[in-house]
Amino acid sequence: MSRLLHPFSYASKAEADYINIVSGEGVVLTADDGKQYIDGIGSLWLCQVGHGRREIIDAITTQLNQLATYNIFDPMTNNVAAEAADLIAEKSPHPDGRVFLGCSGSEAIDTALKISRMIQQRRGAGDKQIILRRTRGYHGTNFGGTSAQGIEGNREGWGDLVPHFIEVPSDDLEAAARVFSEHGPQIAAVITEPIQGAGGVHMPPDGYLEGMRRLCDQHNSLLIFDEVICGFGRTGSWFASQTFDVTPDMITFAKGVTSGYMPVSGVIMSKQVAAELEQPGLKLMHGYTYSGHPACVAAAIANINVIEADGLVDRSHHVGAEFEKGFSAMAADGMIESYRGTAGIWAAELGHDALPIRDRMLELGVIVRPIGTSLAVCPPLTISDAEIAQMIEAMATALNELAPERTSA
C-alpha cells in the first residue's frame, strides 16, 4: 500500500484501485493504461481554461527562472504579486479594494473569518463574533472553514470546533431574519456561497442574496461571499456577485484564479473593509509563507489573460445553454427528476444514489461528481459542443442501464 493518504477517501483503499491520471490536453485526460476521459468536473470545480495551456506553463517557467520564490512579509514584496492583486481586484466588484493572497480556498476562508471579527473589534463591537452559516454550505476544511460548514458530515469527528457559529436553513430568509432579530448585536458576518457547489449545486432563491445583504446592512454585519467555486467566469460573469448583482464586503477566491495550474487563493476586500486595515500603526498579524508566491501568482496572471483572450466568461453562457438542452431532454424523457445550475456549473437530480451512475460514466470515459442523489458537472469552459454531447450521452447510457426504475422494469 502506498504511503499517500488521499483526501475525502477511504484510507483502506489500495493505491492500485485509483485511476492514475498521467496527462491532460484541453478537456481530455489520459490515465496510465491509455484510457481517456472527458474532464466533466474541471479537476475539482476549477480548470476554466482546460489542460496543457502553454501560455500558463510558459509563464510559470519564466517566473521560476527569474525568481522562483520569496516571501512578501514586511519589508519584502515582488512585482508579480502586486500585479496579480491589481488584476484580480480590477475584475471584481471592488476595483478600489485590497486583495490578500494565499494558496488554498481553506486559507482564504479562514482569512475572511478572522478579518470579519477583527473589523468588528476595530469598530468597537467586541461582542460581534457570531458567524452565520447556511445549511449545505461548503467552506473548506481548515478549522475555521470546518466550523463554517453547513454539511454536517464534514463537521463530525473532530471534537470541539471554533465557537460562535450559528446555522440557518439554506433557503429560508425569514429564518435568517429571526436569528438576526435575536442575535443581531453579536453577529459579525454571514458567510455564503452565491451558488452552493459541493452541497449539490443549489441556486439561491429569488431575492435571497439581496435579503442577506439587507440584513447585514441593518445590523452592521459583514457579508462574505465564498466564490472559491463560483469565481472567474464560472457563472457567466467574472464573479457570481456580479451575476446576481449583490455586492458583498469580502469575496474569497481560489480554484479558477489559476485553473489549478498553481495554488493561489485570496480575499478581495471592499474599500471600506480595507480602510479599517489601513489605519496608521495597525499591523496585520496574519499571513502565510506562500502568500504572493511569485511562480504561483504568475500562473494567476496568465490564466486570467487566457480567460479574457478566449472570451471564456461569455462562452460560459453557451456552455450552459448546451447542458440545459441536454438535461431538459433527459428530464422530459423521465431519465432525471430535474436539473439546476447556470452557465458553467450544473447538477442533474436523479432521485436515487448517484454513485453507481458516476462509476458507469467513468467506464464510458466521462468524469462527473456524485453528490448524494445528484450528478454535478463543472467542465473547463473551453469544452466543445461535441464533448458536451458526449457527456450527456454517457449519462443517458448509464441511467438507461442502471437507474432503479429502469432496472426493475
Q: CATH class for domain 54-309?
A: alpha beta
Calpha distance 62→299 (Å, rounded)? 10
Tally Cβ neighbours within 10 Å of residue 229. 28
Q: List, for residues 279-317, the tens digit of each pLDDT value.
A: 999 999 999 999 999 999 999 999 999 999 999 999 999
Which residues are CB-contacts of 182 (< 8 A; sequence separation ≥ 6)? none
- Residues in the chain predicted with pLDDT less than 50, given as ranges, are 407-409
Q: The cell 449519462 sits on which residue? A: 395
Q: How far apart are CA 389 and CA 320, in angstroms?
A: 12
Any idea what DSSP says for residue 203? P
Distance CA 268, CA 92 (A): 8
For 261-288, letters b (16+ CB in 10 Å) and e give: bbbbbbbbbbeebbebbeeeeeeeeebb
- Where are the alpha helices (H) located in 184-293, listed in sequence order? 208-218, 240-243, 271-277
CA dist 238 and 194 (Å) reads: 13
CATH of 15-52+311-407, one of 2.120.10.30, 3.40.50.300, 3.40.718.10, 3.90.1150.10: 3.90.1150.10
Each domain of the chain, given as residue ranges in start order, spans: 15-52+311-407, 54-309
DSSP for 336-360 reads SSEEEEETTEEEEE-SS--HHHHHH
Unique residue bearing C-alpha cell 476586500: 269
The H or E element containing residue 58 is helix 54-66
330 in Cβ contact with 392 (< 8 Å)? yes
Cα distances (angstroms) measured from residue 289 to each of 116, 266, 305:
22, 13, 26
- CB-count burial class (<10 Å; 0-12, 13-18, 19+) for 365: middle
Residue located via cell numbers 484580480: 88
**Can you give the pLDDT at residue 407?**
43
Going 197 to 114 to 91 to 141, the CA torsion angle's sign is: negative
* pLDDT given at position 404: 77
Return the pLDDT at 406: 56
Helix, strand, coil shares, percent, the chain, to 5: 40, 15, 40
Amino acid, single-letter form, for residue 331: A
